[in-house]
Amino acid sequence: MTSDRISAAIYDPFLWLGERAGMARTRARLLASASGRVLEIGAGTGLNLRHYPDTVDELVLSEPVEAMARRLERRTRRRRIDAHVVRAAADTLPFTDATFDTVVSTLVLCTVEHPGRALAELRRVLRPGGRLLFIEHVRADAPRLARWQDRLERPWCSFAAGCRANRPTVEAIAGAGLTLDRLEHGRWRGMPPIVAPLAIGTATS
């Protein structure tokens, strides 16, 4: 689709300021603990790729949007990273149970149509004791900003490829049966206020 190609083409430039203002450092800090066989859902254009440590034995990148997946493949080749790109959505993962040691989700759970199904799939493919590493923008604690997130949900969703910034994602992670091990709140600097509130953490299956 033309809209998918446009979204893929502008994704990196649109996030550039946010990456420079701190998101790249946040990615690096979170992904330093990735290990074993790793699945990243909604890998997009591959902004996480340079942050994976040597403790990763195998890297699988799932991305359902064809235009994004092609850019992702090009980035893996340029960086000479041994990673396998799979065209798959987070709520229909083509992997057997207990396959991965680590699952990574960065700025993805806002876009999936059914976050509960996606989280159930993540839990299914994680081995017992495996970990979910996540950075997600979430519903604001401040009532005024939360109201603006609600008001702008539809136009922002149309503009930002399905992003719904007002979701209570941390509660959804806990409700999916994953145990939150570490949680911190931050702000996505350099980006519009409605997507600024961040939840960063890890959860165990």
Q: What is the pLDDT of residue 81?
A: 83
176 φψ region: left (φ > 0), alpha (ψ -120 to 50), beta (else):
alpha
Q: What is the pLDDT of residue 167?
A: 95
- Per residue in 128-160, pLDDT tens? 999 999 999 999 999 999 999 999 999 999 888
Residue 1 has pLDDT above 70, yes or no: no
**Which of 4-8, 16-20, 105-109, 191-195 is predicted least confidently?**
4-8
> Which residue type does 164 have?
R
Q: Using CA atoms, how far apart are residues 13 and 54, in angstroms rounded to an integer?
A: 28
Q: What is the pLDDT of residue 80?
A: 76
- The end-to-end CA distance of the chain, in Å, is 36
Cβ atoms of 183 and 111 closer than 8 Å = no
The superfamily (CATH) of domain 2-204 is Vaccinia Virus protein VP39 (3.40.50.150)
Cβ atoms of 88 and 118 closer than 8 Å = no
Confidence of residue 32 (pLDDT cuts 50, 70, 90): very high
Q: Using CA atoms, how far apart are residues 199 and 184, in angstroms rounded to an integer?
A: 6
CA neighbor of 62 nearest in space, from 29, 96, 108, 126? 108
Q: What is the arrangement of strands in the sheet containing 126-137, beginning at the earlier edge strand?
A: 83-86, 56-62, 36-40, 100-106, 126-137, 197-204, 179-187
**Cβ-based neighbour number of residue 45 at 10 Å:** 20
Structure tokens at 98: 């207990």
Structure tokens at 41: 């859902």
Cβ atoms of 91 and 162 closer than 8 Å = no
Q: Using CA atoms, how far apart are residues 24 and 41, in angstroms rounded to an integer?
A: 18
> In the chain, where are the structural domains located?
2-204
Confidence of residue 2 (pLDDT cuts 50, 70, 90): low
